[in-house]
Amino acid sequence: MSKYTEDDLKVELENKEYEYGFYTDIESETFPVGLNEDIVRAISKKKEEPEWMTEWRLEAFRAWSEMTEPTWANVHYTKPDFQAISYYSAPKKKDKYASLDEVDPELLETFKKLGISIDEQKKLAGVAMDIVVDSVSVATTFKKTLAEKGIIFCSISEAIKEHPELVQKYLGTVVPQKDNFYAALNSAVFSDGSFCYIPKGVRCPMELSTYFRINQAGTGQFERTLVIADEESYVSYLEGCTAPSRDENQLHAAVVELIALDGAEIKYSTVQNWFPGNKDGQGGVFNFVTKRGLCEKNAKISWTQVETGSAVTWKYPSCVLKGDNSVGEFYSIAVTNNFQQADTGTKMIHLGKNTKSTIISKGISAGKSQNSYRGLVQISSRAENARNFSQCDSLLMGNNCGAHTFPYIESKNPSAKIEHEATTSKIGEDQVFYCNQRGIPTEKAIALIVNGFSKEVLNKLPMEFAVEAQKLLEISLEGSVG
């Protein structure tokens, strides 16, 4: 009856270019492709690292050389050629900038396109930015305010030089070098990333955020993040990602380690919006990430993630609930459209007594995408009175996508209480018509329905992130009802 059909809408939106698909032409210093011990040494040298760090990297490289890529995830892709990647790329200007005037104007332009000009961010009270562009931190703000509280927030390279005792004590303690193929690779070649230390009893007065960007054609990005919350401290950390579009696949293998000492709390929120590939499934970022947190006694770690980007996602932010009474939480929205594939979830490892974990996962699949939740709840024999609640909901759009759930439960303690709930639903034509009848166009109706579906997780995000996340959901799913 109406002239503008859903099919028209679909076509229009499939042709919509990736919003952040632009490429900044900054002079970069790039290593020759390939990976061997010399390259690992060269990276370490380039970064003026101490001997122990070089050795640590080499150890990881040797372990990696013996490992093979995991194949158990429910994703299918052409394996990257690890010898065809350049493992180091940094903007040529070596020194840190004292003021914005010194920053490469093209880089500033990039930030502008992203809507996150540093200038603006500086004024945005409460948000300190440590922006990682192509692996090297180029701007750090609010450092002074943080320093007054004894909080250290800097690039990991800087931390290796300035705070070696902390880095040496904690790096690799939650995600060991040999943990898995991608973690080993990251440990050998990580270029940069963020470091954060909150001293005993300190509540970090602002949300800490880092924007990561992949910027150089053909360079993989290997960030390393280490967050240490000392006893009775609190920090909320935000990580947001966008990347320019590329024809060839880009590899991203990050490692994030969180350490929450006795009574500490870490809230780690991510919005991931890397290039998902075009509508034919070409290009897009391979996102193979290892994120894990360790909770000591009475500590709490919350992971919140909104995953809308990447061609292939392999990511399981996990909590090791080592200390008694510790709490782990995982709130996730994973959206896949077109040919995207996501295999994501969490692991809650209950070691201490009275440990509690909550998992809320919302998977939204559209187009020809595949969206899998994979989770493990493990209760060890000495974890008396451990409790877990898991809820996995899937929302499907159209008839060509898939939603899968792989929940694993291993309980070795009879006092454990574990609950698992799961639902699968489809956006119905009747729901869309109901909205239409009230004057809400289809595109907006879908955004409304999806936001409603994801509400429990969106509510967990810090305010400024929640708004951005809602917009991302709309952009990612427009025109996908069928």
Partner 1 sequence: MLEVKNLHAKVEDKDILKGINLSVKAGEVHAIMGPNGSGKSTLSAVIAGNEHYEMTEGEIILDGEDITELAPEERAHKGVFLSFQYPVEIPGVSVTNFMKTAINESRKAQGLEEMPANEMLKSIREKSELLEIDRKFLSRSLNEGFSGGEKKRNEIFQMAMLEPKLAILDETDSGLDIDALRIVANGVNKLKSENNAIIVITHYQRLLDYIVPDFVHVLYKGKIVKSGGKELAYELEEKGYDWIKSEN
Binding site for partner 1 (CB under 8 A): 1-4, 428-431, 433-442, 444, 448-449, 451-456
In Å, how far from its chain's centre is CA 186?
A: 15
Which residue, 282 or 459, is less far from partner 1 as judged by CB?
A: 459
- The distance of closest approach from Cβ of residue 459 to partner 1 in the complex, given in angstroms and rounded to an integer, is 10
- The distance of closest approach from Cβ of residue 451 to partner 1 in the complex, given in angstroms and rounded to an integer, is 7
Which residues contact residue 188 at a Cβ distance below 8 angstroms, ignoring those fewer than 6 apart? Answer: 35, 40, 57, 58, 60, 61, 64, 177
Strand ranges (DSSP E) for 6-88?
A: 28-30
Integer angstrom CA distances of residue 34 from 12, 27, 80, 130, 337: 40, 21, 12, 29, 33
Which residue, 385 or 436, is less far from partner 1 as judged by CB?
A: 436
Which residue, 233 or 454, is less far from partner 1 as judged by CB?
A: 454
Distance separating alpha carbons of residues 304 and 153, to the nearest angstrom: 21
Residue with tokens 């040494």: 41
Residue with tokens 């209950």: 350
Which residue, 74 or 436, is less far from partner 1 as judged by CB?
A: 436
Distance separating alpha carbons of residues 162 and 153, to the nearest angstrom: 11
Which residue, 126 or 441, is less far from partner 1 as judged by CB?
A: 441
- The distance of closest approach from Cβ of residue 452 to partner 1 in the complex, given in angstroms and rounded to an integer, is 3
Which residue, 249 or 454, is less far from partner 1 as judged by CB?
A: 454
- The distance of closest approach from Cβ of residue 466 to partner 1 in the complex, given in angstroms and rounded to an integer, is 14
- The distance of closest approach from Cβ of residue 398 to partner 1 in the complex, given in angstroms and rounded to an integer, is 16
For the chain, what percentages of helix, strand and coil (3-state, to nearest 5) are there? 25, 35, 40
- The distance of closest approach from Cβ of residue 458 to partner 1 in the complex, given in angstroms and rounded to an integer, is 9
Integer angstrom CA distances of residue 332 from 4, 308, 416: 34, 11, 24
- The distance of closest approach from Cβ of residue 64 to partner 1 in the complex, given in angstroms and rounded to an integer, is 43
Which residue, 413 or 431, is less far from partner 1 as judged by CB?
A: 431
Which residue, 117 or 431, is less far from partner 1 as judged by CB?
A: 431
- The distance of closest approach from Cβ of residue 467 to partner 1 in the complex, given in angstroms and rounded to an integer, is 15
- The distance of closest approach from Cβ of residue 83 to partner 1 in the complex, given in angstroms and rounded to an integer, is 47
* 194 close to 156: Cβ distance less than 8 angstroms: yes
Which residue, 1 or 98, is less far from partner 1 as judged by CB?
A: 1
H/E element, 336: strand 327-336
Phi, psi (rounded to 5 degrees) for 350: -90, 110
The DSSP-derived string for 96-133 is PPSSGGGS-HHHHHHHHHHT--HHHHHHSTTEEEEEEE
Query: Whose CA is closest to 107, among 125, 123, 88, 92?
Result: 92
Q: 340 by DSSP, 3-state: which?
A: coil
Longest pairwise C-alpha distance within the chain? 72
